[in-house]
Chain A
């Protein structure tokens, strides 16, 4: 009984850490994008204020049961994804609930929230939500292909489906990282990562100018709080995942913070430099360049 309580305590502490880290990351990114635009930008704690403000709204409209459950599924997807990934290698409380087959479940959980959101936003009846969902699902599916291929290449390389063991195999200096030992899978994975992070050039489903904000068009007040929280947890969880898979994991919180920050800035800088893809362009690109690189990465381990 006591071990269960301790585990729950660790999980909550771990979630608290990643939630705050994700919010600060978003705030910092807003600042960086503003500086690239030549603006001063909002303070880095602006996401906290936005969250409190959404929480303080006095009314909230809703469109039905699935509309309620959409953000809940989305948040569950983010939290579930994070809790399956060991955040810091060797740490007791940041080990989360990683187990021997977690890599497969993680691939599933990345998609889970998206599907829940599709059902919820679909019930809101707003045509822009439906358009955003269609575009988002098409693009996420396309970016899953190179990601899955990169993961298969890593699994073949290390003969395991456990993230902890993949991280353990990369310990002992930069020469052991998958970035060095398996560069082709890393390229495929990092290009797929661009497609997953919902930043420009792959942010067409959020398309703020043409279809208001995509799937969450109708979501307001406390529903939006869940989506905003998910945005921080989900983004941070994906960063931790990519750090574990390709960049040697982390052995301390500071190492995790520095590595995930650099990985995040990769997609931010690509985003501020390149204009947005249309959805058919992004799908075609993801299924051509990164997917073929991913096939190459798998084929190398087949022969």
Chain B
């Protein structure tokens, strides 16, 4: 019908006649690293609570997400370890990158990851997240996940079975309890490096710098 191209820069106000204020929806601020609570007992209690209530963001990025339904259902039932699926990034704390990650999905992954609240953890599932796996020479997938997001635990294999995932969760719990799973702060501290890597691979960058 009307092939006039409309360009919207979400970070600029007024110019686009949007009828709403984009500053309400997007934010130019950079993420800040937040130091954990100073009091040792409170910090230990918080770490324990974090470790025993892991909410997984329900976002299957690749073929590995087929391993998640058996985890939640009767056969493996991870809810007995305090692990639950959570559909919204605002409330979720664990992001499982399940398998290969195409450049198109990477954009959505970055957006979802940045919307999660600190502390947040990333689990790389499958060989594809380690070195590209069987897609190592694909034109459209990334090879190393930790160039783009801080990864806490890798679970190698193609595909890792649900038992391997549970082992990965136990490893993650150990790291959280020891206070070593500080991915969110790492991301904030090395923000420029991560952004440069992300922009190198995503050619049509149309995201705000940071999606709170």
Tell me the A residues contacting B by CB distance below 8 Å: 30, 34, 37-43, 46, 49-50, 52-53, 55-61, 63-64, 125, 128, 208-209, 212-213, 216-221, 224
In the assembled complex, which residues on chain A have CB atoms less than 8 Å from the CB atom of B205?
A: none
Give the residue name and chain of the A residue nearest to B42 (CB).
Answer: A56
Smallest beta-carbon distance A220→chain B, Å: 4
Tell me the complex Cα distance, A50–B198, Å. 33
A224 with B91, Cβ < 8 A, contacts A53-B53, A56-B49 known: yes
6 contacts between A and B (CB under 8 A): A39-B73, A42-B79, A53-B52, A125-B24, A125-B25, A224-B91
In the assembled complex, which residues on chain A have CB atoms less than 8 Å from the CB atom of B93?
A: 53
| 18 more CB-based (< 8 A) A-B contacts, given A50-B53, A57-B118, A219-B90 | A37-B73, A37-B74, A38-B74, A39-B77, A39-B79, A43-B80, A49-B49, A52-B45, A52-B53, A56-B49, A57-B117, A58-B184, A59-B117, A64-B24, A212-B88, A213-B91, A217-B90, A220-B91
Give the residue name and chain of the B residue nearest to A209 (CB).
Answer: B87
Tell me the complex Cα distance, A125–B119, Å. 24
In the assembled complex, which residues on chain B have CB atoms less than 8 Å from the CB atom of A220?
A: 90-91, 117
Q: Mark B75-112, 1 if CB is under 8 A from A, else 0.
A: 00101101011111011010000000000000000000
Asked if B179 lies at the interface with its beta carbon under 8 angstroms from chain A, I say no
Determine whether the beta carbon of A58 is less than 8 Å from that of B36.
yes
Tell me the complex Cα distance, A59–B49, Å. 16
Determine whether the beta carbon of B82 is less than 8 Å from that of A49.
yes
Shortest 10 CB-CB contacts between residues of A and residues of B = A212-B87, A56-B46, A52-B49, A53-B53, A38-B74, A39-B77, A220-B90, A58-B34, A212-B88, A53-B49
Smallest beta-carbon distance A225→chain B, Å: 11
B 45-60 contacts with A by CB, 8 A: 45-46, 49-50, 52-53
Determine whether the beta carbon of B212 is less than 8 Å from that of A61.
yes
In the assembled complex, which residues on chain B have CB atoms less than 8 Å from the CB atom of A221?
A: 117
Per DSSP, are chain A's interface residues mostly helix, strand or loop, or mixed? loop
Give the residue name and chain of the B residue nearest to A47 (CB).
Answer: B53
A58 with B117, Cβ < 8 A, contacts A52-B46, A63-B24, A213-B88 known: yes
Smallest beta-carbon distance B70→chain A, Å: 12
In the assembled complex, which residues on chain A have CB atoms less than 8 Å from the CB atom of B118?
A: 57-59
Determine whether the beta carbon of B90 is less than 8 Å from that of A59.
no
Tell me the complex Cα distance, A283–B85, Å. 29
Tell me the complex Cα distance, A180–B86, Å. 43
Tell me the complex Cα distance, A60–B119, Å. 11
Tell me the complex Cα distance, A87–B117, Å. 38
Smallest beta-carbon distance B40→chain A, Å: 14
Determine whether the beta carbon of A46 is less than 8 Å from that of B90.
no
In the assembled complex, which residues on chain A have CB atoms less than 8 Å from the CB atom of B184?
A: 58
Give the residue name and chain of the B residue nearest to A211 (CB).
Answer: B87
In the assembled complex, which residues on chain A have CB atoms less than 8 Å from the CB atom of B36?
A: 58
Tell me the complex Cα distance, A50–B84, Å. 10
Smallest beta-carbon distance A121→chain B, Å: 12
In the assembled complex, which residues on chain A have CB atoms less than 8 Å from the CB atom of B82?
A: 42-43, 46, 49
Tell me the complex Cα distance, A55–B119, Å. 12
Tell me the complex Cα distance, A220–B82, Å. 18
Smallest beta-carbon distance A84→chain B, Å: 31
Smallest beta-carbon distance B100→chain A, Å: 24
Give the residue name and chain of the A residue nearest to B74 (CB).
Answer: A38
B 116-135 contacts with A by CB, 8 A: 117-119
In the assembled complex, which residues on chain A have CB atoms less than 8 Å from the CB atom of B25?
A: 125
Tell me the complex Cα distance, A58–B32, Å. 11
Give the residue name and chain of the A residue nearest to B188 (CB).
Answer: A59
Determine whether the beta carbon of A34 is less than 8 Å from that of B117.
no
Tell me the complex Cα distance, A51–B191, Å. 30
Give the residue name and chain of the A residue nearest to B76 (CB).
Answer: A39
In the assembled complex, which residues on chain B have CB atoms less than 8 Å from the CB atom of A60?
A: 117
Tell me the complex Cα distance, A209–B88, Å. 11
Tell me the complex Cα distance, A209–B24, Å. 27
In the assembled complex, which residues on chain B have CB atoms less than 8 Å from the CB atom of A41?
A: 77, 79-80
